[in-house]
Protein backbone atom coordinates (compact mmCIF):
# COMPACT_ATOMS: atom_id res chain seq x y z
CA UNK A 1 0.00 0.00 0.00
CA UNK A 2 1.52 3.33 -1.08
CA UNK A 3 1.78 6.33 1.23
CA UNK A 4 -1.12 8.32 -0.29
CA UNK A 5 -3.51 5.38 -0.05
CA UNK A 6 -2.40 4.72 3.51
CA UNK A 7 -3.16 8.35 4.41
CA UNK A 8 -6.66 8.04 2.96
CA UNK A 9 -7.38 4.90 4.97
CA UNK A 10 -6.06 6.60 8.10
CA UNK A 11 -8.31 9.61 7.44
CA UNK A 12 -11.41 7.42 7.00
CA UNK A 13 -10.51 5.38 10.10
CA UNK A 14 -10.03 8.57 12.13
CA UNK A 15 -13.41 9.92 10.95
CA UNK A 16 -15.12 6.64 11.91
CA UNK A 17 -13.38 6.62 15.30
CA UNK A 18 -14.49 10.21 15.99
CA UNK A 19 -18.08 9.30 15.08
CA UNK A 20 -18.08 6.26 17.39
CA UNK A 21 -16.60 8.27 20.27
CA UNK A 22 -19.19 11.04 19.81
CA UNK A 23 -22.00 8.48 19.83
CA UNK A 24 -20.64 6.90 23.03
CA UNK A 25 -19.98 10.06 25.05
CA UNK A 26 -23.02 12.14 24.07
CA UNK A 27 -26.63 11.43 25.06
CA UNK A 28 -29.24 10.53 22.46
CA UNK A 29 -31.24 13.43 21.04
CA UNK A 30 -34.87 12.47 20.40
CA UNK A 31 -37.02 14.41 17.96
CA UNK A 32 -38.78 17.29 19.73
CA UNK A 33 -42.53 17.09 19.05
CA UNK A 34 -42.74 20.89 19.20
CA UNK A 35 -40.69 20.98 15.99
CA UNK A 36 -43.89 20.24 14.04
CA UNK A 37 -45.68 23.26 15.53
CA UNK A 38 -44.90 25.82 12.82
CA UNK A 39 -45.91 29.44 13.08
CA UNK A 40 -47.85 29.65 9.82
CA UNK A 41 -50.56 26.97 9.72
CA UNK A 42 -52.99 28.82 7.46
CA UNK A 43 -54.98 27.19 4.67
CA UNK A 44 -54.96 30.02 2.14
CA UNK A 45 -56.23 28.48 -1.11
CA UNK A 46 -57.06 25.21 -2.89
CA UNK A 47 -57.61 23.62 0.51
CA UNK A 48 -53.86 23.15 0.99
CA UNK A 49 -53.04 23.04 4.72
CA UNK A 50 -49.97 25.01 5.79
CA UNK A 51 -50.15 26.56 2.34
CA UNK A 52 -47.05 28.75 2.24
CA UNK A 53 -44.80 26.12 3.85
CA UNK A 54 -45.96 23.67 1.17
CA UNK A 55 -45.79 25.78 -1.99
CA UNK A 56 -42.50 27.44 -1.00
CA UNK A 57 -40.89 24.11 -1.96
CA UNK A 58 -41.71 24.62 -5.64
CA UNK A 59 -38.36 26.36 -6.39
CA UNK A 60 -36.53 23.15 -5.43
CA UNK A 61 -38.42 21.32 -8.19
CA UNK A 62 -37.50 23.78 -10.91
CA UNK A 63 -33.86 24.16 -9.88
CA UNK A 64 -33.39 20.42 -9.37
CA UNK A 65 -34.85 19.43 -12.74
CA UNK A 66 -32.89 22.16 -14.50
CA UNK A 67 -29.67 20.95 -12.89
CA UNK A 68 -30.41 17.32 -13.81
CA UNK A 69 -31.06 18.23 -17.45
CA UNK A 70 -27.94 20.37 -17.75
CA UNK A 71 -25.79 17.65 -16.16
CA UNK A 72 -26.60 15.36 -19.09
CA UNK A 73 -27.46 17.74 -21.95
CA UNK A 74 -24.57 18.17 -24.43
CA UNK A 75 -22.04 18.24 -21.59
CA UNK A 76 -23.34 21.72 -20.68
CA UNK A 77 -21.62 21.76 -17.27
CA UNK A 78 -18.35 20.39 -18.74
CA UNK A 79 -17.88 17.87 -15.93
CA UNK A 80 -14.41 16.33 -16.01
CA UNK A 81 -15.09 12.78 -14.79
CA UNK A 82 -17.77 10.16 -14.25
CA UNK A 83 -17.41 10.72 -10.52
CA UNK A 84 -18.36 14.37 -10.91
CA UNK A 85 -21.23 13.49 -13.22
CA UNK A 86 -22.77 10.99 -10.81
CA UNK A 87 -22.18 13.19 -7.77
CA UNK A 88 -23.80 16.25 -9.33
CA UNK A 89 -26.61 14.08 -10.70
CA UNK A 90 -27.34 12.77 -7.21
CA UNK A 91 -27.15 16.28 -5.78
CA UNK A 92 -29.73 17.70 -8.20
CA UNK A 93 -31.85 14.55 -7.83
CA UNK A 94 -31.83 15.17 -4.07
CA UNK A 95 -32.81 18.80 -4.61
CA UNK A 96 -35.70 17.71 -6.86
CA UNK A 97 -36.84 15.15 -4.28
CA UNK A 98 -36.80 17.83 -1.57
CA UNK A 99 -39.69 19.54 -3.38
CA UNK A 100 -41.84 16.40 -2.98
CA UNK A 101 -40.57 15.22 0.40
CA UNK A 102 -40.79 18.60 2.12
CA UNK A 103 -44.21 19.36 0.59
CA UNK A 104 -45.54 16.00 1.79
CA UNK A 105 -44.17 16.61 5.28
CA UNK A 106 -45.69 20.08 5.55
CA UNK A 107 -49.07 18.77 4.45
CA UNK A 108 -49.02 16.38 7.44
CA UNK A 109 -46.28 17.45 9.90
CA UNK A 110 -45.34 14.49 12.10
CA UNK A 111 -42.37 12.22 12.81
CA UNK A 112 -43.31 9.69 10.11
CA UNK A 113 -43.54 12.24 7.28
CA UNK A 114 -40.44 14.09 8.53
CA UNK A 115 -38.36 11.16 7.26
CA UNK A 116 -39.36 12.03 3.68
CA UNK A 117 -38.40 15.65 4.26
CA UNK A 118 -34.93 14.87 5.55
CA UNK A 119 -33.97 11.92 3.37
CA UNK A 120 -33.59 13.95 0.13
CA UNK A 121 -31.61 16.58 2.01
CA UNK A 122 -29.12 14.00 3.24
CA UNK A 123 -28.62 12.81 -0.34
CA UNK A 124 -27.81 16.38 -1.35
CA UNK A 125 -25.50 16.98 1.64
CA UNK A 126 -23.52 13.78 1.19
CA UNK A 127 -23.24 14.21 -2.58
CA UNK A 128 -21.75 17.65 -2.02
CA UNK A 129 -19.13 16.18 0.31
CA UNK A 130 -18.15 13.64 -2.37
CA UNK A 131 -17.96 16.45 -4.93
CA UNK A 132 -15.62 18.41 -2.72
CA UNK A 133 -13.36 15.42 -2.20
CA UNK A 134 -13.28 14.89 -5.99
CA UNK A 135 -12.50 18.55 -6.73
CA UNK A 136 -10.18 19.44 -3.87
CA UNK A 137 -8.52 16.21 -2.75
CA UNK A 138 -8.57 13.30 -5.20
CA UNK A 139 -10.95 12.32 -8.00
CA UNK A 140 -10.72 8.58 -7.38
CA UNK A 141 -11.15 8.87 -3.60
CA UNK A 142 -14.13 11.19 -4.00
CA UNK A 143 -15.81 8.89 -6.51
CA UNK A 144 -15.36 5.88 -4.23
CA UNK A 145 -16.70 7.85 -1.25
CA UNK A 146 -19.96 8.81 -2.99
CA UNK A 147 -21.89 5.57 -2.36
CA UNK A 148 -20.73 5.10 1.28
CA UNK A 149 -21.53 8.74 2.11
CA UNK A 150 -25.01 8.60 0.57
CA UNK A 151 -25.76 5.26 2.28
CA UNK A 152 -24.51 6.58 5.63
CA UNK A 153 -26.70 9.65 5.22
CA UNK A 154 -29.77 7.54 4.43
CA UNK A 155 -29.13 5.25 7.40
CA UNK A 156 -28.84 8.26 9.72
CA UNK A 157 -32.48 9.02 8.87
CA UNK A 158 -34.07 5.62 8.49
CA UNK A 159 -32.60 3.48 11.25
CA UNK A 160 -31.91 5.95 14.04
CA UNK A 161 -34.52 7.31 16.43
CA UNK A 162 -31.82 9.78 17.40
CA UNK A 163 -30.92 13.13 15.84
CA UNK A 164 -27.16 12.87 16.45
CA UNK A 165 -26.28 11.01 13.21
CA UNK A 166 -28.50 13.33 11.17
CA UNK A 167 -26.97 16.37 12.86
CA UNK A 168 -23.50 15.18 11.86
CA UNK A 169 -24.61 14.55 8.26
CA UNK A 170 -26.16 18.01 8.08
CA UNK A 171 -23.73 20.20 9.97
CA UNK A 172 -20.34 18.65 9.15
CA UNK A 173 -20.69 19.68 5.48
CA UNK A 174 -21.86 23.13 6.60
CA UNK A 175 -18.56 23.58 8.47
CA UNK A 176 -16.22 21.58 6.25
CA UNK A 177 -17.30 22.93 2.85
CA UNK A 178 -16.72 26.65 3.50
CA UNK A 179 -13.37 25.88 5.14
CA UNK A 180 -12.30 23.64 2.25
CA UNK A 181 -13.55 26.23 -0.26
CA UNK A 182 -11.33 28.87 1.33
CA UNK A 183 -8.21 26.87 2.20
CA UNK A 184 -7.81 24.17 -0.48
CA UNK A 185 -6.85 25.29 -4.02
CA UNK A 186 -9.75 24.68 -6.44
CA UNK A 187 -9.72 22.72 -9.69
CA UNK A 188 -12.14 25.21 -11.27
CA UNK A 189 -12.72 28.96 -11.47
CA UNK A 190 -15.62 30.80 -9.75
CA UNK A 191 -14.91 29.06 -6.46
CA UNK A 192 -16.45 31.97 -4.53
CA UNK A 193 -19.91 30.71 -5.53
CA UNK A 194 -19.48 27.99 -2.91
CA UNK A 195 -19.34 30.71 -0.26
CA UNK A 196 -22.47 32.40 -1.61
CA UNK A 197 -24.26 29.05 -1.42
CA UNK A 198 -23.01 28.47 2.14
CA UNK A 199 -24.11 31.98 3.13
CA UNK A 200 -27.66 31.42 1.88
CA UNK A 201 -27.83 28.08 3.68
CA UNK A 202 -26.70 29.71 6.92
CA UNK A 203 -29.35 32.40 6.46
CA UNK A 204 -31.93 29.65 5.89
CA UNK A 205 -31.02 27.99 9.18
CA UNK A 206 -31.33 31.32 11.02
CA UNK A 207 -34.78 31.85 9.49
CA UNK A 208 -35.79 28.33 10.47
CA UNK A 209 -34.80 28.98 14.07
CA UNK A 210 -36.67 32.31 14.05
CA UNK A 211 -39.84 30.87 12.49
CA UNK A 212 -42.33 32.36 14.94
CA UNK A 213 -40.56 35.70 15.63
CA UNK A 214 -40.36 36.40 11.88
CA UNK A 215 -44.06 35.56 11.53
CA UNK A 216 -44.84 38.15 14.20
CA UNK A 217 -42.41 40.76 12.79
CA UNK A 218 -44.03 40.50 9.35
CA UNK A 219 -47.52 40.89 10.90
CA UNK A 220 -48.35 37.27 10.06
CA UNK A 221 -47.65 37.67 6.34
CA UNK A 222 -44.81 35.17 6.05
CA UNK A 223 -43.06 32.87 8.53
CA UNK A 224 -39.39 32.15 9.03
CA UNK A 225 -39.85 28.58 7.81
CA UNK A 226 -41.31 29.71 4.49
CA UNK A 227 -38.38 32.10 4.01
CA UNK A 228 -36.05 29.26 4.97
CA UNK A 229 -37.31 27.22 2.00
CA UNK A 230 -36.78 30.13 -0.39
CA UNK A 231 -33.25 30.85 0.86
CA UNK A 232 -32.28 27.17 0.87
CA UNK A 233 -33.42 26.93 -2.75
CA UNK A 234 -30.83 29.59 -3.60
CA UNK A 235 -28.07 27.12 -2.72
CA UNK A 236 -28.55 24.91 -5.81
CA UNK A 237 -29.19 28.08 -7.86
CA UNK A 238 -25.72 29.42 -7.06
CA UNK A 239 -24.12 26.02 -7.57
CA UNK A 240 -25.81 25.64 -10.98
CA UNK A 241 -24.58 29.13 -11.95
CA UNK A 242 -21.09 28.15 -10.83
CA UNK A 243 -21.19 25.00 -12.96
CA UNK A 244 -22.37 26.96 -15.99
CA UNK A 245 -19.67 29.64 -15.69
CA UNK A 246 -16.62 27.83 -14.43
CA UNK A 247 -13.61 26.60 -16.38
CA UNK A 248 -10.48 24.68 -15.40
CA UNK A 249 -8.36 26.84 -13.09
CA UNK A 250 -5.00 27.43 -14.85
CA UNK A 251 -3.25 28.30 -11.58
CA UNK A 252 -4.63 26.48 -8.58
CA UNK A 253 -4.55 29.13 -5.85
CA UNK A 254 -6.83 28.96 -2.81
CA UNK A 255 -9.28 31.74 -2.01
CA UNK A 256 -7.31 32.35 1.17
CA UNK A 257 -4.14 32.97 -0.83
CA UNK A 258 -6.01 35.27 -3.24
CA UNK A 259 -7.44 37.25 -0.33
CA UNK A 260 -4.01 37.43 1.27
CA UNK A 261 -2.43 38.74 -1.95
CA UNK A 262 -5.24 41.28 -2.38
CA UNK A 263 -4.86 42.43 1.23
CA UNK A 264 -1.11 42.88 0.83
CA UNK A 265 -1.67 44.86 -2.39
CA UNK A 266 -4.19 47.13 -0.65
CA UNK A 267 -1.79 47.70 2.25
CA UNK A 268 1.05 48.54 -0.15
CA UNK A 269 -1.14 50.98 -2.08
CA UNK A 270 -2.23 52.68 1.14
CA UNK A 271 1.41 52.93 2.22
CA UNK A 272 2.39 54.46 -1.14
CA UNK A 273 -0.47 56.95 -0.92
CA UNK A 274 0.61 58.04 2.56
CA UNK A 275 4.23 58.42 1.43
CA UNK A 276 3.12 60.48 -1.56
CA UNK A 277 1.07 62.77 0.67
CA UNK A 278 4.02 63.19 3.07
CA UNK A 279 6.41 64.01 0.23
CA UNK A 280 4.02 66.52 -1.32
CA UNK A 281 3.39 68.10 2.04
CA UNK A 282 7.12 68.33 2.76
CA UNK A 283 7.78 69.81 -0.67
CA UNK A 284 5.05 72.39 -0.15
CA UNK A 285 6.41 73.30 3.28
CA UNK A 286 9.94 73.76 1.90
CA UNK A 287 8.66 75.89 -0.97
CA UNK A 288 6.71 78.14 1.41
CA UNK A 289 9.70 78.61 3.75
CA UNK A 290 12.02 79.57 0.87
CA UNK A 291 9.65 82.34 -0.18
Residue 209 lies in a domain: yes
**276 assigned to some structural domain:** yes
Residue 84 is assigned to a structural domain of this protein:
yes
| Together in a domain, 182 and 284 | no
Q: What is the pLDDT of residue 128?
A: 92
Q: Is pLDDT larger for residue 166 or for residue 233?
A: 233
Task: State the residue range of the domain holding 288.
Answer: 254-291
Tell me the average pLDDT across 106-135.
Answer: 92
DSSP 108-177: S-SHHHHHHHHHHHHHHHHHHHHHHHHHHT-HHHHHHHHHHHHHHHHHHHHS-SSHHHHHHHHHHHHHHH
Q: Do 57 and 183 fall into the same domain? A: yes
Q: Are residues 10 and 99 in the same domain?
A: yes
Q: What is the mean pLDDT of the chain?
A: 85
Please indicate, yes or no, whether residues 285 and 177 belong to a single structural domain of this protein.
Answer: no
Q: What is the tens place of the pLDDT at every residue in 23-64?
A: 666 677 777 788 899 999 999 988 999 999 999 999 999 999
The SS3 of residue 188 is strand
The reported pLDDT for the residue numbered 14 is: 62
Residue 170 has pLDDT above 90, yes or no: no
Instruction: Check whether residue 190 and residue 289 sit in a common domain.
Output: no
| Top mean-pLDDT range of 95-99, 162-166, 272-276 | 95-99
CATH number of the domain that residue 103 is part of: 1.20.1070
Q: Is residue 141 included in any domain, yes or no? A: yes
Q: Is the pLDDT of residue 75 over 80?
A: yes
Distance, CA of 45 to CA of 52 (rounded, Å): 10
Same domain, yes or no: 168 and 221: yes
206 falls within a domain = yes
> Using one digit for the tens of pLDDT, what is the confidence trace for 195-220?
999 999 999 999 999 999 999 999 99
Q: How many domains does the chain have?
A: 2
Amino acid sequence: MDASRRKKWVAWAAALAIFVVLMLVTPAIPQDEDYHDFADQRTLFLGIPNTLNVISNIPFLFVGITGLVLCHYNDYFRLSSQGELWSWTLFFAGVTAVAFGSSYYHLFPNDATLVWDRLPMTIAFTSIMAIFIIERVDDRAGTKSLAPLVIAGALSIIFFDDLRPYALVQFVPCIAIPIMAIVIPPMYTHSSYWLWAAGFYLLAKVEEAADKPIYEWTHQIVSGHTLKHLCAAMVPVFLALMLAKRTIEPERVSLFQKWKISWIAVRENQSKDRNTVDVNYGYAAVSTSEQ
